[in-house]
């Protein structure tokens, strides 16, 4: 695996080298256009940041996006996967269809940053009123795609084919009892009519310097598979444990046993994986051994071989341990939702690396390690070749150690990072069209 990574890095470096001399004649024009609308992109982002909405409830966000797209003269479809917005730009000339995606939802997090556009919004979440914040940067994603749509619409004569702008709800997961996000958009035909040939997406990173872009061949973000384990035993007085079948000690054994799947069953050189228990509930008194314990957790894997092994091993391990403790166990896997591996198509990456280098500068393009976070952009990539990347949002005067993590009340990204995102989405579209003009002739 280490040799494979070295080889991929060398190949990526070789791909970058000729890009320096392949400057597109429209590069300067795109840079000028991105700079000219930067103020608008920032204003859009500030509005969205101050008015976040939770998954499947992005009604005002969708209306805001729709108004902008219609002002550009685009054909717009609303209500896709509940609140999704999709627009198509047709150049009138034959060529491929390129899709660009941005996610729209916020999180049930209370913002603590002292910003003029700080969120003070609240919403209902699982029966409770909670604060809402764009604690993962989706507000920047929407603003950047709105900017790219404006530039590309103004450059219609330079295009060969069609562009599909996808503003997606519920990336963070639909509310309990609902479905949503990329999976539902795909089911509803978002990649059809016209058929998409390639899709590009990006995520701003609070831990990557402004001006940088990170990419990777193959698995760049993990598959996510939540699960639930219910251990059933026999209730007894805590003073007489021999009269019980203790689901608490059984659960403790199961939790530790699950860790041995990763440490003792997977070839860690090739099959990085994580299994974590995030919640455990059982009993209500100190002196009563309960009848039942419920725990929920998550599995993260970076290739399909490891993912299949985890699906087989978690129930096997839990049931065997429970049997040894005279308890019964029920395993639900996946629990409610699951995302595939966010997998960058190798050929598409090779084809588009020169665009990344030319747009950001050779020193600003980083071949990245994979991460165990997850993204439902993976559902689009299961259907068509896709490239997903991270762009920097960390101010240069802030260290990585001091930059706040995503999904936290302190989350912050610099507005300056968005101009690169606008340029990347625009250049990737134009370059892919030029390199694949024979498609849909």
**Residue 10 pLDDT exceeds 50:** no
At residue 283, does pLDDT exceed 50? yes
Q: Which of 332, 366, 394 represents a domain boundary (last residue)?
A: 332
Q: Check pLDDT > 70 for residue 126.
A: yes
Weakest-pLDDT range from 175-179, 291-295, 348-352: 175-179
List, in sequence order, the alpha helices (H) in 188-294.
247-264
Range of the domain at 303: 223-332
Contacts of 257 by beta carbon, 8 Å cutoff, 6+ apart: 317, 318, 321
Q: Residues 191, 282: one domain?
A: no
**324 domain residue, yes or no:** yes
Q: Is the pLDDT of residue 19 over 90?
A: no
3-12, 369-378, 407-416: segment of lowest average pLDDT: 3-12
At residue 333, φ and ψ (nearest 5 deg) are -145, 115
Same domain, 188 and 261: no
DSSP letter string, 101-123: EEE---BS-------TT----EE
Residue 120 — very low, low, confident or very high, per pLDDT cuts 50/70/90?
very high
- In the residue annotation, 197 being an active-site residue is answered as no
pLDDT of residue 24: 57
Tell whether 9 and 53 lie within a shared domain: yes
Contact assessment for residue 189 and residue 79, using Cβ atoms and an 8 Å cutoff: no
Per-residue pLDDT tens digits for 22-56:
555 688 999 999 999 999 999 999 999 999 999 99
Out of 53, 58, 105, 197, pick the active-site residue: 105
Task: Kindly report the CATH number assigned to the domain that includes residue 229.
Answer: 3.30.70.360
Query: pLDDT value at position 181?
Result: 97
User: What per-residue confidence (pLDDT) applies to 25?
Assistant: 64
Q: Is the pTM of this model over 0.75?
A: yes
Q: Note the pLDDT tens digit of each residue in 303-329.
A: 999 999 999 999 999 999 999 999 999
Q: Which residue in the list 58, 66, 103, 171 is annotated as catalytic?
A: 171
Domain count, the chain: 2
pLDDT single digits (tens) 184-194: 999 999 999 99
Same domain, residue pair 416 and 312: no
Do 166 and 38 lie in one domain? The reply is yes
pLDDT for residue 2 is more than 80: no
Do both 168 and 212 map to the same domain?
yes
- CA-CA distance, 307 to 290, in Å (whole number)? 33
Does position 153 have pLDDT exceeding 50, yes or no? yes
Active site (annotated) includes residue 415: no
Average pLDDT of the residues in 123-145: 97
Q: How confident is the model at residue 176 (pLDDT cuts 50, 70, 90)?
A: confident
Give the residue from 298, 332, 366 where a domain finishes: 332
Contacting residues for 426 by C-beta, under 8 A, at least 6 apart: 30, 33, 34, 148, 151, 152, 155
Asked whether residue 42 falls in the same domain as residue 147, the answer is yes
Residue 181 and residue 264 share a domain: no
- From 279, 307, 332, the end of a domain falls on 332
């Amino acid at each position: 695996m280490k040799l494979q990574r070295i080889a991929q890095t060398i190949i990526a470096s070789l791909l970058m080298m000729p890009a320096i001399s392949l400057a597109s004649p429209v590069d300067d024009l795109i840079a000028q256009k991105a700079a000219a609308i930067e103020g608008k992109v920032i204003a859009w982002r500030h509005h969205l940041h101050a008015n976040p909405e939770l998954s499947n409830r992005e009604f005002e966000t969708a209306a805001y996006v729709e108004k902008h797209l219609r002002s550009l003269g685009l054909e717009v479809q609303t209500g896709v996967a509940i609140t999704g917005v999709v627009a198509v730009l047709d150049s009138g000339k034959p060529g491929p269809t390129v899709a660009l995606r941005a996610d729209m939802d916020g999180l049930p997090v209370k913002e603590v940053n002292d910003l003029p556009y700080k969120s003070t919004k609240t919403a209902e979440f699982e029966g409770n009123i909670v604060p809402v914040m764009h604690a993962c940067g989706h507000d920047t994603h929407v603003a950047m795609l709105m900017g790219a749509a404006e530039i590309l619409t103004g450059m219609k004569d330079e295009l060969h084919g069609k562009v599909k702008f996808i503003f997606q709800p519920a990336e963070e997961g639909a509310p309990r009892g609902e479905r949503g996000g990329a999976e539902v958009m795909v089911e509803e035909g978002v990649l059809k009519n016209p058929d998409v040939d390639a899709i590009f997406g990006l995520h701003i990173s609070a831990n990557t310097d402004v001006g940088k872009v990170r990419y990777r061949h193959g698995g760049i973000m993990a598959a996510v598979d939540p699960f639930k384990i219910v251990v059933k035993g026999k209730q007894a007085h805590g003073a007489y444990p021999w009269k019980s079948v203790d689901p608490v000690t059984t659960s403790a054994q199961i939790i530790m046993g699950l860790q041995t799947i990763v440490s003792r069953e997977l070839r860690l050189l090739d099959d990085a994986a994580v299994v974590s228990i995030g919640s455990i509930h059982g009993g209500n008194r100190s002196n009563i051994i309960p009848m039942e314990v419920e725990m929920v957790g998550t599995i993260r894997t970076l290739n399909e071989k490891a993912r299949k092994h985890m699906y087989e091993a978690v129930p096997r391990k839990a049931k065997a341990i429970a049997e040894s403790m005279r308890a019964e166990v029920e395993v639900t896997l996946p629990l409610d939702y699951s995302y595939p591996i966010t997998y960058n198509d190798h050929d598409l990456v090779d084809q588009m690396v020169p665009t990344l280098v030319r747009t950001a500068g050779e020193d600003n393009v980083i071949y990245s390690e994979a991460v165990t976070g997850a993204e439902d952009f993976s559902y689009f990539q299961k259907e068509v070749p896709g490239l997903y990347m991270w762009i920097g949002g960390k101010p240069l005067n802030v260290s990585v150690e001091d930059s706040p993590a995503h999904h936290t009340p302190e989350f912050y990204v610099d507005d300056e990072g968005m101009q690169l995102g606008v340029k990347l989405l625009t250049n990737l579209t134009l370059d892919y069209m030029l390199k694949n003009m024979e498609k849909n002739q």
